[in-house]
Amino acid sequence: MRLLNFRTIAAWSALACTATAHAGLTYEARVGGGASDNITRVATDEVDETMAVVGLDLDWQEQTRRIDARVLTNLSYVDYLQNTYEGDFVGTGDADLTFGIVPDRFLWHVEDNFGQGRGDPFQPVSPANRENINYFTTGPDLQLHFGSQTSMLIFGRYSLSDYELTPSDGERTAAGLGLYRQLSAASRIGLNAMRDESKFDNPLSPEYDRTSAYVSYDVTQGRTRIAAQLGYTDLEFDNGASDSGPLIDVRITRDVSASSTLSVSASQKFTDAAEALQDITSGQQDPGGGLTATSIPYEGRDFGVDWHFARQRTDITLGALFEKDDYVTGTQMDLERQTYTAIFTRRLRPTFGVTLDVRYFTEDFPNANLDADNLGAALRLNWQVGRAIGLRLDVEYYDRDTEDPAGGYQENRAMLYVTWSGGTPGGAGAR
């Protein structure tokens, strides 16, 4: 079973080699185990399973004159002790490195994104209906400056997508340029153009070229930050078919107060499952739930709102995300999805905290005549036994309802971990 390939290990090793004693780092390593009363996630004939787990949550970042790097992981290796399934990795990992060969002039970019997708989008996410996806990207950036306010970026990228099971492996080559004007110390506008070519190992997968042109605008004004891209994308397939549509990516963040932040985002663009991993924050993906493991491109539209509150011993996150994916071919996979998230954390004592994490989402496959309502709830208790050692208990509940009773399930889990955590100043959130 292919889990992490050589390119993935090489990219992450290169990032690790750039680490210094001054790098910002927070981490939690964990080892433990637990039990599920329905590991196969079926409506009848449920299967009990016990699991042993080793995991790592890590946020590492380094920023110097020549290096700008960030690594985020929320990864676990799960071993199924009753051998219902083979052991596998679950979670997400993101590694991003920009190396200044000639600082501010000639840069080299390396990025690797790891996550999961569903092989069959109409069935529940389970170890039998989940596979690992990896997306590796590298290439140069050439930055040219014309005076103090005008600059140009010329870049090239080579990307490789690897699917653990689905025959969708492929490669993408891209080139583009951007012309930017600094309007003020806090704002910049740009004209951008990019073209890429996607090819696949499977001769049945349609190969295509994608051309995009857009205007970008970035501004930081007081407590408000805006990043926007508006333009148009055209797809041309080798078989003569074509498709096109608007390119929209707008993200607005407002510091409502010293304790709370409100974020609004909207996007519309052509992408695929592997490339979409770049837009998923590590730890925020429901493993396998949000992506379908296929190389077929789709036009994704989404609108999201998030509110985060943090003060003293209390953290609250509330979010809503509305998504609509329209596939260029294989339209039976077209999906409309609504996700609502509520996370509440309270530190009852300096060494003891509790987290309630509730996620509810609906899925509508209009061309497959299938609807599903999904609920996931987790209660987590964290006890810091010593300076670095802790205990963590997770009690989880999952429920899926569909019009077809065979497509629903209920599952209860309980997991107990011993944790080892630490960090250095400038860790998570320093950048």
Domain ranges of the chain: 6-424
Q: Count Cβ neighbours within 10 Å for each residue of 263-283 and write b for 16 or more, e otherwise.
A: eebbbbbbbbbbbbbbebebe
pLDDT class of 13 with cuts at 50, 70, 90 = low
Structure-token pair, residue 239: 């078989």
For the cut 80, the answer to whether the pLDDT of residue 428 exceeds it is no
Per-residue confidence (pLDDT) for residue 205, from 0 to 100: 84
User: For 13-21, what is the mean pLDDT?
Assistant: 51
Whether residue 257 contacts residue 237, with contact meaning beta carbons closer than 8 Å, is answered with: no
User: For 175-181, what is the mean pLDDT?
Assistant: 97
Per-residue confidence (pLDDT) for residue 21, from 0 to 100: 44
Residue at token pair 């049945």: 204
Query: What proportion of the chain, given as a percentage, has pLDDT over 90?
Result: 80
Coil, strand or helix at 9: helix
For the cut 60, the answer to whether the pLDDT of residue 386 exceeds it is yes
Which numeric CATH code is attached to 6-424? 2.40.170
Per-residue confidence (pLDDT) for residue 330, from 0 to 100: 83
User: How does the average pLDDT of the chain come out, rounded?
Assistant: 90
| Chain segment 237-266, per-residue pLDDT in tens | 998 899 999 999 999 999 999 999 999 999
Contacts of 173 (CB under 8 A, 6+ apart): 156, 157, 158, 159, 196, 197
The pTM score is: 0.90
Q: Residue 23: what are its φ and ψ, rounded to 5°?
A: -70, 145
Give CA–CA dist 154/431, Å, rounded.
25
For the cut 50, the answer to whether the pLDDT of residue 429 exceeds it is no
Structure-token pair, residue 395: 């009690």
Q: Tell the burial category of 294 from Cβ atoms under 10 Å away from its Cβ (0-12, 13-18, 19+).
A: buried
13-27, 52-66, 81-95, 203-217: segment of lowest average pLDDT: 13-27
| Chain segment 283-297, per-residue pLDDT in tens | 444 555 678 999 999
| Chain segment 127-170, per-residue pLDDT in tens | 999 999 999 999 999 999 998 899 999 999 999 999 999 899 99
For the cut 50, the answer to whether the pLDDT of residue 211 exceeds it is yes
pLDDT class of 427 with cuts at 50, 70, 90 = very low
Q: Which amino acid is at 326?
A: D
Q: Count of residues for the chain? A: 431
Bridge partners of 188?
182, 218
Give CA–CA dist 210/308, Å, rounded.
36
5-19, 210-224, 273-287, 376-390: segment of lowest average pLDDT: 5-19
Per-residue confidence (pLDDT) for residue 2, from 0 to 100: 44
Give CA–CA dist 242/345, Å, rounded.
48
Give CA–CA dist 124/235, Å, rounded.
32
Coil, strand or helix at 284: coil
Q: Which amino acid is at 131?
A: E
| Chain segment 316-375, per-residue pLDDT in tens | 999 999 999 999 988 999 999 999 999 999 999 999 999 999 999 999 999 998 999 999
Give CA–CA dist 49/41, Å, rounded.
11
pLDDT class of 4 with cuts at 50, 70, 90 = low
For the cut 60, the answer to whether the pLDDT of residue 313 exceeds it is yes
What value, to the nearest 5°, has the Cα angle with vertex 116 and ends 244 and 159?
55
| Chain segment 85-118, per-residue pLDDT in tens | 999 999 999 999 999 999 989 999 999 999 999 9
